[in-house]
Amino acid sequence: MAKKIETARLILRPWDEKDLERLVLSLNDFDLAKWMAFIPHPYLISDAHDWITRCGEITKKGPRPTAYEFAVELKSNGLLIGGVSLNKINWETQTGGGGIWITRNHQGFGYGTEAFQAKIAFAFRDLGLKRLINGYFKGNDRSWAMQRKLGYRRAGEVAARCMADGRQTIEHVTELLSSNWEHHRGQKR
Ligand SMILES: CC(C)(COP(=O)(O)OP(=O)(O)OC[C@H]1O[C@@H](n2cnc3c(N)ncnc32)[C@H](O)[C@@H]1OP(=O)(O)O)[C@@H](O)C(=O)NCCC(=O)NCCS
């Protein structure tokens, strides 16, 4: 189902063919891809095309899809600056996963936190999910800082592989319960 979310500075919207070029420019960056599990390097136009096609198919899957994939756009000028996903949705167990990236020259301005927060609110409030499972590769302090700030806790470690360079690494698994999130938000008000 196509879904659009607006935050103070961002619009989270479905991926579109018009994003091809900018997507390649953003993700063909090893310093970004090294923190992601499934981004090949180099990242080619065919990779971007496959991704956008796949996302288009997901949105046609009716009212209970297994994923929502959002392009993150700046409200001020329409520039694509990232992607955020809510995936692996299991409607029975009310759980979901997902990831995020923000293009490198837009990192550190709070956009990642803003987009991830919007995805969490959508998952818990609109979809009624109860638990989100995420993670981050060993050494990705910025991702952990963002997740921790939003209430995530570390839940374990698993062996993982990064597609960009094929290295074996450790993924810290993180989770956020909807009850903890409401509590966490309450404390910050
Ligand atoms: C992780 C990522 C999405 C965060 O997005 P962002 O827009 O850069 O993050 P924010 O500006 O919202 O900052 C989040 C927190 O990171 C921390 N942070 C910011 N810059 C940092 C730096 N250079 N080093 C370590 N931590 C940093 C801060 O704690 C910050 O919160 P604060 O500003 O309130 O203190 C982004 O950096 C990114 O795309 N990284 C590469 C891909 C990736 O790691 N994806 C996640 C895979 S798990």
Nearest CA to ligand 1 atom 16: 142
Q: 72, 73, 117, 146: which to mutate for ligand 1, most atoms within 8 A of CB? A: 146
| E strand map for 91-185 | 95-97, 100-102, 131-137, 153-161, 168-177
Q: Which of 55, 178, 188, 74 is nearest to 123 (CA)?
A: 178
Ligand 1 centroid to residue 181 C-alpha, Å? 19
Chain centroid to Cα 93, Å, comes to 20
Ligand 1 centroid to residue 143 C-alpha, Å? 5
What would the pLDDT profile of 69-93 be if each residue is shown by its tens digit? 999 999 999 999 999 999 999 999 9
So where are the chain's domains?
5-188
Burial of 167 (0-12, 13-18, 19+ CB in 10 A): exposed
Average pLDDT over the chain, rounded to an integer: 95
Tell me the angle at which helices 20-27 and 45-59 cross, rounded to the nearest 10 degrees. 120
Atom of ligand 1 nearest to the CA of 134: 48
CATH of domain 5-188: 3.40.630.30
Ligand 1 centroid to residue 112 C-alpha, Å? 6
Rg (CA), the chain: 16
What would the pLDDT profile of 110-142 be if each residue is shown by its tens digit? 999 999 999 999 999 999 999 999 999 999 999
CA distance 65 to 173: 23
